[in-house]
Structure 1
Amino acid sequence: MTATTDERYEKIKEIVCEILELEEDEVTETSLFREDHGADSLRAIEILASLEKEFKITIDQSELSRMVNLKGVTEVVAESAAAK
């Protein structure tokens, strides 16, 4: 069974908020992790690793440049899942 887009989005948001230590209402689809929420590159790697584990996918580290907000992360996860 694959997660629906909404379920995937909610899980991604949950993971991001947990790693960035934020409440879910603090993060919007377009709020920037580094600029708006003070995330550093280590947090970005943590997010990437958690997403790979949760969704059983592989995300190339070159995709980190796109993973700056929930919208970007969701797109990268969807593409990685589709390519699996």
Structure 2
Amino acid sequence: MTAMTDERTAKIKEIVCEILEIEEDEITDTSLFIEDHEADSLRAIEILASLEKAFGIVIEQSELPRMANLNGVYEVTAEAAGW
């Protein structure tokens, strides 16, 4: 991974953890937001909006089901940003 990719990955994780109100060491790339971290649909929308603001991108709400864990969030954000 490049330094830029590492930086983006760290920023995404920071945003998700802040919204879910958990520590970064409590989440893995594959832990599920709803099942493992008790997130609700409002939190998912908050994550989406925060990512849009942080990276200056637009993410369709239809992508929310794919954003069930950090891997999915990275994927959707990268696609929207064209990384």
Category of TM-score, reference length = shorter chain: over 0.9
Root-mean-square deviation over aligned CA pairs: 1.2
Residue 81 in 1 paired to residue 81 in 2?
yes
Which amino acid letter does the alignment assign opposite residue 82 of structure 2?
A: A
**Structure 2 residues not aligned, in runs of 5+:** none
Q: TM-score, normalised by structure 2?
A: 0.94
Structure 1 runs (4+) deviating above 2 angstroms are none
CA distance in 2, matches of 1:4, 1:63: 24
Quote the residue 1:68 is aligned against. 68
Unaligned runs of 5+ in 1: none
Distance of 1:56 and 1:23 partners within structure 2:
25
TM-score, normalization: structure 1?
A: 0.93
Matches within 5 A, 1:4-43: 4-43=4-43
- Aligned identity (percent) is 75
After superposition, the C-alpha distances for 1:22-66 in whole angstroms (9 at most, x for unaligned) are 000001000000000000000000000000000000000000010
Number of positions where the alignment pairs a residue of Structure 1 with one of Structure 2: 81
